[in-house]
Chain A
Amino acid sequence: MKSIRTFGLGLLLAAFAVFISILFVGQYKLSSKALDAFCVQKNITSPIFINTLESSVIEREFNTPFYLANTIAKSVKSANIAHKKNKEWSKVIWEKPHSLAYQLVKSSGIGVVVQNKVSLWFLSFGLAILGALLFMLPAIELKGPAGIKNNHIFHKSATNRGWIAWLVFMFLVGFYIVLYFRPSYMINWIYLVDPISESISGHSASQWFLYGFLYCVVMAVMAVRMYIKYRNNKYQVLRTTSVLFFQIVFAFLIPEILVRFEKPWYDFKNIFPLDYDFFFRWNLDELLDSGGFGLFVLVWGVLLTVVIVPVMVYFFGKRWYCSWVCGCGGLAETLGDPYRQLSSKSLFSWKVERWLVHGVLVFALVMTGLTLYGYFSGSYKVYGIKVQTIQDVYGFLIGSIFAGVIGTGLYPIFGNRVWCRFGCPLAAYMGVIQRFKSKFRITTNGGQCISCGNCSTYCEQGIDVRAYAQKGENIVRSSCVGCGICSAVCPRGVLKLENGPEQGRIGSVDVLLGNDMNLIDQLDEK
């Protein structure tokens, strides 16, 4: 068993090495035909841009995509500087330089990677999946009978901020930066998933398809780990199945299939304000241009935020979304599960959390308000500020840096719910409802708490669960995503997630059950 595990790890690492090396191989040649076609399609008329490319990269072969991508991006920038100086507005290229470069590089691959997409996929993705499974499955035998097994979590470098954790952190941060800002650098990975993309949507893959596919693969593999680790706990098993289902079907397959039928790409479970660009002009225009389907999506999107979310949170707490449906939550509960103990439980963190998460909510709402005002008044500026600028700032700071680079990158350092806890505007919105108008609570079982602190340690949201449990109080914190791990790790059966009447929901009495001290006297004193 142990040797299978070691072999699996070896396979995983080898596949990972292949995966990384793939980035640096292949041949790239941008043909002038491809450039012409692209310029026609994108209505690019800048002679400076075209001439620069023709004199520097066109019809030349490169061994990595990096130089080609950087040259194209630089050409866009220098052409734009010249055109803006000469006030030749019609020649300015408005597309972002690296986004444009990505598209040209995508059409220029000719070498070993494009020719061997399938076999390289198996060598990287395939072997990694196999290796990971071989690494994880022996745990059924090695870690003993079903039950909570958190032994040595704080002895291990990977799960206690050791060097492995920092390496993972650097890889994740690097991955997100490349994904958001230099997608052409990962062009070879994108080639590998072209066949899959073509079979689903009929189009070749984009960096977002790669991301979606990777996301599903990572979640599915790590869900297997969840199934093994929590096989004694039906709540965890069902919850894991649910997030996996919603990720694969709703966030990945349905949107791609919609594209095949020439409908707008839409994730039916991504809810405004987490789905922050739902009310952006381009999205509204696209939806309104898509006939009955577009209209349906528009109504559904509004309904989700305005009716479905509050009603569901009232009955079940925000867990129905955060740990049963949401994609961000899904990744946090699978890939992130080994890191849940790293979230800070200090009062200071709680203060930071409240300012940040509600700040982001306000930012999202203000941005959307201005966007809609601009949309309906037909102007691109509100109070002298370009709506586009605010959207770009939000998209960059919150959408990319916070949710992606920091949110996932920091898993191995600050725990798996950094984004959900400190940044997600939808979580903030649902949190307000959960705290003040909901049936959901984590019930404390009378006086059984022994203050051991397993619950607090393993709370991914940094809630000091013990502080409530040892006082016999129920937990009704706005940030609770209802993952149920506090209840699972409790050695004394003290905690239970449930939906009950609002009356007595917090259930605080000064003196805990087990003490027959006169409670009426106690109450009189208040």
Chain B
Amino acid sequence: MKKILQLTLGIITSVGGFLEIGSVVTAVQAGAAFGYQLLWAILLGTVCLIFLVEMSGRLSAVSKHTIVDAMRERFGFPFFSIVTLGIVIVAFMVLVAELGGIGLSLQILTGIGFPWWAIPISLVVWLLMWKGTFSLIENVGSLLGLVTISFVVAAVELNPDWSSAAHGLLPTASGDQKAKYGFIAVSILGASISPYLMYFYSSGAIEGEWDETYLAMNRIISGFGMSFGGLLSMAVLICAALALQPRGIDVDKFEQVALLMTTALPKWGFFLFAASMLFACLGAALEISLAISYFFAQGFGWNWSEDLSPSRDARFAFTYTIIILLAAVPLLFGVDPIKVTMMSMALTSATLPLAIVPFLFLMNDPIYLGKHRNGWISNSVVAIIILISFVLAVISIPLEIMGG
């Protein structure tokens, strides 16, 4: 029974991790600018993520260490500190974007500008972490996150040409606008393959006291959970391809994204969109704050656990408190969350090797995994996809900057 309930870990990791402002904005931009042509990027990202998340769970269940524990112990503090710096900086930017996403959702619902929401939102996020337990965050997040199924409903309502859509699952070189195509592809990959997801999932496995008997469940969770997220992203892209592209609407601002479901679901589309964004970004904000704090706490050997009250893991609690407060600051100054989103997604892609290469080493280490080490398929799939992301990022990001 407990194992079945663990399925919720997969769903929230997916909804909060996969479907958040990054994946929505990139999918909408892709659909609006290129129709179905970038579905392959979402597929590639999802496949890679399924492998990575499964590995994260396997590492923790077998070695009883989190990824961060193992990274410091296996590679030593100096290397660990470089990886931490890179990952934390990018993750922090994504956190700012997520809080901004919550703010923008509230803005379109109430008319009150998102900078005004920055402080109330951080307080709520902080309170949930302060008083909540890991299971509370998991379960409530999963349930609320289910409202995002409305994207799938909307996509179906719009009556897509499914065979054209299927063609989008294979990469095609776009005609003109190559730089933009490449940049959006890179951003989709960065939005899908977010390292913070892995640290969150790995810590969740330790909180849930997983052992080798959980390995099969782990595969099911990562497979279904991440596929669910991937499906949602594809639905968003399809909605944009049908609702926005034919009208020539290219997406720059959140207000335009909000029109995604108004034609497909006239009565509720707008509100379902706002609610979906609100809950998905909230889930992501919680996950990222936790993931960053885990990096510090597990890396330095502090007590950490969402199930402990804050006075029992004081340094961990202090860390996430500071992080959430700092993340609100750019929003207070009116920094555009959409711009932060696009930048952080591309940067995630560019810094993926930093997170994934050491991780792959760990996954092949007999000390941590014994007979459960990676097979050649897992290694190859991940290595190839990360290489693709990195190369695309190195080419596209400068091109996009140059191209204005």
Q: Do A and B come from one complex?
A: no
B: residues with CB less than 8 A from A are: none
